[in-house]
Amino acid sequence: MRAKISADLKTAMKAGDKPKVATLRLINAAIQAAEIETRKELDDAGVLAVMTKMVKQRRDSIAQYTSGGRPDLAATEQSEIDIIEAYLPKQMDEAAVAAAVADAIKETGAASAKDMGKVMGVLKAKYAGQMDFQKASAAVKAALG
């Protein structure tokens, strides 16, 4: 994953694609910061987690910029999201999330809301970077109700 990002950074620099260069540098910086924080080299799952967090931060910024009347800044954030998401696995749709939640509940034998942590642990292990865990959490809560 990191090798692909570095190779794409070099390609973007040669092509003079400034927005992509800036975004890829932000990704590299975020990965390095996470490695410094954890004091170990990140594997692909760790890199996916960092990039997913970056997308979430940008979505929050878009909401703030839109409500603040700054569509130009919101558009910049959206273009960064588009570049970052090109490296993330395809996100699951709601039906796939519901099926994954049902499978995880069956696998863990969860019966009540107290078992929600077990179910979320299974989902995070199997579907890192593929689903929005806030939505998954709401689905698990509803299923275990």
Q: Based on the domain organization, do 80 and 98 belong to the same domain?
A: no
Q: Based on the domain organization, do 53 and 17 belong to the same domain?
A: yes
Residue linked to tokens 């760790």:
46
- Give the domain CATH number at 132: 1.10.10.410
Contact 124, 95 (CB under 8 A): no
- Whole-model pTM? 0.73
Q: Based on the domain organization, do 9 and 66 belong to the same domain?
A: yes
Q: What is the pLDDT along the chain (145 residues), one digit of tens a residue?
A: 889 999 999 999 999 999 999 999 999 999 999 999 999 998 888 898 899 899 999 999 999 999 999 999 999 999 999 999 999 888 888 888 889 999 999 999 888 888 899 999 999 888 877 888 888 899 899 888 7
Range of the domain at 37: 2-85
Q: Based on the domain organization, do 26 and 49 belong to the same domain?
A: yes
Q: Based on the domain organization, do 81 and 102 belong to the same domain?
A: no
Residue linked to tokens 């689903």:
131
Q: Based on the domain organization, do 110 and 130 belong to the same domain?
A: yes
Q: Based on the domain organization, do 10 and 65 belong to the same domain?
A: yes
- Give the domain CATH number at 72: 1.10.1510.10
Task: Report helix, strand or coil for 71.
Answer: helix
Which ranges constitute the DSSP H helices of 16-93? 18-38, 44-67, 71-85
Number of H helices, E strands in the chain: 7, 0
Q: Based on the domain organization, do 71 and 135 belong to the same domain?
A: no
| Listed residue (49, 71, 50, 51) closest to 61, CA to CA | 71
Tokens of 67: 């409500």
